[in-house]
Amino acid sequence: MSEDQVRMSCRNVNVAYSGNLAIKNVSMDIMSKKVTAFIGPSGCGKSTFLRALNRMNDTVDGCEVTGEITLDGNDIYAKDMDTVFLRQWVGMVFQKPNPFPKSIYENVAYGPRIHGLFRTKSELDDIVEQSLIGAGLWDEVKDRLRNPGTGLSGGQQQRLCIARAIAVNPEVILMDEPASALDPIATRKIEELIHKLAQNYTIVIVTHSMAQAQRVADKTAFFYAVPLTEQDNSNLIEFGDTKQIFDNPVDDRTRQYVEGAFG
């Protein structure tokens, strides 16, 4: 697979909640095996857009997505697209660590179970072990796989959620402010993990921390526009290489935001 292959492509995407536009006319390409960061002030729609990428918004009453989002050339909003398969390919890690009230093992095994990704118990054991290794959690929990996942520390819980997400072997992992509820040390571990995961997965991360975006992201998208007015053409203000966005932004609003003038 070539280095700059497009994994997800978005064209003129609008997201509306009960008729109110939250995302207007966003087009961008998400590159394979790169980390793409969404930054912007609260309420700019970056989380909404992230959730549009694996149709998590479907569960919200009155939410409507128009435009085109493709994964490897397939329209994810096509009628015959099954959200079960889509979410297997495009996994999600949430802001607050949300392990299931089950054992560490069962947390990771749940995804493979519902998708039938194994034939024997030892295959499942393998998947669980590989996923926990991949999430950098194996050494800490290998002796207590039967303990409840909710008994881990916040940072460990979030890595457990990442292990759970990669256990179904996704193409893309969406992360909605994955470190915002964690302390600096746990945050650092998550960031190192994101780096490592980018070797195998395409990662999209929403973050409030500009330092974090600079540390982890290859590409950065700056969202802005609250409230959205008729004149605004789009609320994706600028999208490019992280270095360019932070060192040499084209748009004034981007520069003000990355310099900390507002937000």
Partner 1 sequence: MVQIIDPKLKDADYQRAMTLRRRNKGKRFQAWGIAALAVAGLMLAALLYSIVSNGVRGLMEDRITVEVYFDPEKIDPRDSGDLAVMRMFNFDTLVYPVLYEALDIKARGRSDRDKRRKVKQLIGLGASNQLREMIVRQVGVDPVTEDPILVSGGTQLGERVTVELTALSTASNPYTQTLRELGYLNTRFNGDFFTGVNSNDPGYYGILDALVGSFWTLLVCFLASFPVGVLAAVYLEEFAPRNLITDFIEVNINNLAAVPSIVFGLMGAFVFIYVFGMPGGTALVGGLVLSLLTLPTIIVAARAAIRSVPGSYREAALGLGASRQQAMWSFVLPSAMPGIITGTIIGLAGALGETAPLLFIGMVGFQSGIPLTPLDGTPSLAVGVFNAFGSQFDELKNQLSNSTIIVLLVLLMLLNGTAAYLRYRSEKS
Where along the sequence are the contacts to partner 1 (CB under 8 A)?
54, 56, 59, 61, 83-88, 91-94, 96, 98-101, 110-111, 114-115, 161, 164-165, 168
Shortest distance, position 46 Cβ to partner 1, whole Å: 17
Q: Which helix (H) or strand (E) holds 37?
A: strand 35-39
To partner 1, the closest distance from the beta carbon of 52 in angstroms equals 14
CB of 88 to partner 1, least distance (A): 4
Q: What minimum distance in Å lies between the beta carbon of 250 and partner 1?
A: 34
Phi, psi of 13, deg, nearest 5: -85, 130
Residue 17 or 110 having the CB closest to partner 1 = 110
CB-wise, 48 or 235, nearer to partner 1?
Answer: 48
In whole angstroms, give the CA distance from residue 9 to residue 219: 14
Facing residues of 63 across strands? 17
Residue closer to partner 1 (CB basis): 85 or 211: 85
Q: Torsions phi, psi of 90, nearest 5?
A: -115, 95
Is the Cβ–Cβ distance between 97 and 154 less than 8 Å? yes
Beta carbon nearer to partner 1, 29 or 171 = 171
- How far apart (Å, rounded) are the C-alpha atoms in residues 229 and 236? 14
